Amino acid sequence: MDAIGSRTVLITGVSRGLGRVLALELANRGHNIIGCSRAQDALNSLHSQLSSSNPNHNHLFLNADVRLNSSVEELARTVMEKRGVPDIIVNNAGTINKNNKIWEVPPEEFDSVLDTNVKGTANVLRHFVPLMIAAKKQGVIVNISSGWGRSGAALVAPYCASKWAIEGLSRSVAKELPEGMAIVALNPGVINTDMLASCFGTSAALYQAPEAWAPKAATMILNLTAADNGASLTV
């Protein structure tokens, strides 16, 4: 158990990649995980993995599509009924376009990136921030950004645009939150995930493994305070 005490952490896009390893790391430290994803089989797998290591856990995994306001509304309702207001929210759900020049990216693929990465984050903020405020939580919200939210890169313009949006959204919402709360944009660095492999191909394997990243990220997230509100951070 971390010295700071047990926290309840909501992680979107928990079924794979950074979301999954972060959930495992935080659970191993004694924190309670609320995870959501569209992939029910992967949620079941993660639940089983955590149950086998800690049968007395208090984790909750729910099928939800952050792109849909109605789905996140139902997610918030269920979370409140079963676990109450989270202490920390990690807006991790994300996707990337296939490498292509912007004029060659299909409209539906562009929409998918923006709907997941930007509107998905906004939907979570819409339904959970009022709950955190009402509960007078010293709540922390972490919006997963990217180095490509602070720079540009060819062939991934939709993804870059979405992460620049996350940076701006985070800084703006920081000015709207009450004293005591914090929202940050967190660049995880370059990590060997499926998303990176879609851009870099086999050379993605040259970069840091998610399992090596998770302990550093967990420590940083758990130690965020109101003093960090509005920050753009990098693990």
Q: Which residues are catalytic?
A: 159
- Structure tokens given for 12: 């979107």
What would the 3-class secondary structure string for 175-220 be?
Answer: CCCCCCCEEEEEECCCECCHHHHHHHHHHHHHCECHHHHHHHHHHH
Alpha carbons 88 and 136: distance in angstroms, whole number = 13
The angle at the Cα of 65, spanning 61 to 70, to the nearest 5 degrees, equals 110
Alpha carbons 50 and 66: distance in angstroms, whole number = 23
Could you give the maximum distance between any two Cα atoms of the chain, in Å?
52
Alpha carbons 89 and 9: distance in angstroms, whole number = 6
How far, CA to CA in Å, does 169 sit from each of 5, 21, 110, 172?
Answer: 30, 25, 19, 5
